[in-house]
């Protein structure tokens, strides 16, 4: 009877020792080169560079790159586009639904739209006297693209665990007015820029 009670703990110990030995014998993961990322001028818009916020510098890993431009049309309508190029650690990129509520914004009506062959996740937000729609999408150096944070995480886990490589992800976000038609028109231009980078 005592031997039966030991089977579970012995098997568990063998599993963890084996997994630990496997990790020790696995060579260090190859860190892929980041995709080329650049925010370009867009017809009909004046572009202004925006700096990375101090809070981002404090929270994000040092090898994270953040590029941001504000695009203003003659009508006064603006779109804020950002590219976050992830570093070797997973903490560089997270889905916006995690940080915006903690900053005091309410989020609603999540949806996915396809624009010129690329999926974008759209979510409405309001708070702090402002409201609008946020769109985001992800791609990596291998050309994998998705608007699903879950799909990105599963792909990243597979590549790190099985292929022993660290993908460099880019998250593109666009903040705009709560008007899907005008936002989609801007995303068409933003998507063309990203296709040249992949």
Question: In this predicted model, what pLDDT tens digit does every residue of 117-130 receive, in sequence order?
Answer: 899 999 988 877 77
What is the pLDDT at residue 104?
72
What is the pLDDT at residue 125?
87
Residue 2 has pLDDT above 80, yes or no: no
pLDDT (average), residues 146-172: 88
- Between 10 and 3, name the one with better pLDDT: 10
Supply 7's token pair: 């089977």
pTM recorded for the entire structure: 0.80
């Amino acid at each position: 009877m005592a031997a039966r009670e030991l089977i579970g703990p012995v098997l568990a110990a063998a599993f963890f020792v084996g997994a630990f030995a496997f990790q020790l014998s696995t060579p260090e993961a190859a860190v892929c080169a980041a995709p080329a990322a650049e925010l370009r001028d867009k017809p009909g818009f004046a572009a202004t560079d925006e700096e990375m916020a101090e809070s981002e510098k404090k929270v994000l890993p040092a090898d994270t790159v953040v590029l941001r431009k504000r695009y203003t049309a003659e009508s006064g309508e603006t779109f804020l586009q950002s590219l976050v190029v992830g570093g070797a650690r997973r903490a560089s990129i997270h889905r916006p639904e995690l940080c915006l509520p903690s900053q005091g914004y309410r989020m609603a009506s999540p949806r996915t739209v396809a624009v010129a062959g690329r999926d974008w996740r759209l979510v409405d937000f309001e708070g702090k006297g402002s409201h609008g729609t946020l769109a985001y999408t992800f791609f990596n150096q291998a050309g994998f693209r998705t608007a699903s944070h879950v799909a990105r995480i599963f792909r990243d886990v597979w590549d790190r665990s099985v292929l022993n490589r660290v993908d460099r992800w880019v998250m593109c976000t666009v903040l705009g007015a709560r008007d899907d038609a005008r936002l989609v028109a801007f995303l068409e231009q933003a998507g063309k820029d990203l296709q040249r980078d992949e």
